[in-house]
Chain A
């Protein structure tokens, strides 16, 4: 009996010892967590958002689930840093952070990798009351559209409705512009779907919702031109293409519009005009291609492209054409947002460098700045390669058109025929317009309100007559 009691006593004391050790471990874990949380709160108070984000994610790493308080804190910090710092963190870790900013970042991340179902899944997690909701609906609609699903139009319409609603409540110009841009992208999504289905009038009707003062209007104009081209209205296509010659749109990069112009002349059988345009294209774009190649070859440093967009215009010594491309790139939403996030991190670094006790935080910020510079550099570099590839691609297409013109002229010679006239003249009889389309006569000056509403009045020259006949 005594022995039994002794054994029971020994076992219970061993168990109590383990329980005490466990409690001590839990206490140590809790205290480290609370230290990290205090670091987050301290940095939030000092407005060191990038450092706060780092500590916050360190705090989250040990936690299994996030509370509402954690969600609010995450949104507060990410609202200040932007989504660019999220590229520094592991995508698998970010999957467990169910916060709208992170979800929209993950949606874009997967979209970029062409994982459209995953992009759709993350974007669908963004709630209706979030400011990212219109963008999320846009990503969802685009993912569905690219997968050939028919229900994408619902998401685009939700995006338009939500952007309208939110933008009406905002007074700050830049912030408002973001929602307006998202809305216009969604409108363009609907228009593009109609274009794909061959409903060109309906597509143009959607494009007309986008005002001329919008940032996306110069890009939409080319798509409108394609609508008119497919409807056989080559005069209106040429009129729209001519808008790009106005000083306001001179810096916009659109070699495709030149090809569309050449095709329009070709379809009107105005071979001489088409050939002249093609020769002009090669002269102009040869020079541009040379300048672009020079820039790409001179980009020896890792951060050449970043410095091109970040530094002030006065400090950059480049060809005027390269500077105009640079200005175009700085207007792109992605570059804008990334430069804003970078500048905030930079200001944070300059502020903290005065405090010599924050060496670890400084080390982290230096790493953050370096990564951000590399990401921005890569994005800008992609654009420059896109520009040069576009020139090469459309040069080939222009050459193809030229060969076809030579072939058609040869056919006329072999058949002993000629086209009905060598040079067409314009006439109002050949101008077509819908009830919501305008028509302006061009008197040597581009007026801002007339841009995009020009039309030529050329008659088709495609009738062939025997040579020697009147």
Chain B
């Protein structure tokens, strides 16, 4: 039993000492440059070369103005006005 625990602690310590030796240095990029002209895209160009705005007809709004198609409420009022 004692031998096993000693072996285990030795293994742990050796592992730890190996890890403690590694030193990692992180460095961040301060500037990044992307050259769009240098990018290569494969495909067909469908859009026209010039940007154009085509003329369209002006939208004319028309309101629904009042119109009477029947006298139903007046028929009802006539009966109610009797009694």
Contact = CB atoms under 8 A, between A and B. Distances in A.
Interface of A: 83, 104-105, 108, 111-112, 135, 138-139, 142, 145-146, 182, 185, 188-189, 192, 195-196, 219, 223, 226, 259, 263, 266, 332-334, 337, 394, 397, 400-401, 403-404, 407, 411, 414
* Interface class of chain A by DSSP: helix
Nearest to A181: B82
Contacts of B78: 142, 185, 188
B63 A403 contact: yes
List the 6 shortest-distance A-B pairs measured between CB atoms, nearest first. Answer: A397-B66, A192-B71, A196-B70, A108-B83, A404-B63, A142-B79
Nearest to B60: A411
B72 interface: yes
Given A83-B83, A139-B79, A332-B81, A401 B74 contact: no
Interface in B39-69: 58, 60-63, 65-66, 68-69
Contacts of A394: 66
Interface of B: 58, 60-63, 65-66, 68-72, 74-76, 78-83
Nearest to A404: B63
Nearest to A403: B63
A400 B81 contact: no
A242 B83 CA distance: 32
Nearest to B77: A386
16 contacts: A83-B83, A111-B80, A145-B72, A182-B82, A185-B78, A188-B78, A192-B70, A223-B74, A263-B65, A263-B66, A332-B81, A334-B81, A334-B82, A394-B66, A401-B65, A407-B63
Contacts of A135: 82
A368 B44 CA distance: 93
Contacts of B76: 142, 146
B56 to A, nearest CB: 13
A138 B78 CA distance: 10
A266 B65 contact: yes
B69 A145 contact: no
Contacts of A259: 66
B80 to A, nearest CB: 6
B75 A192 contact: yes
A356 to B, nearest CB: 36
Given A145-B72, A332-B81, A334-B80, 4 more contacts: A188-B78, A189-B75, A195-B70, A400-B66
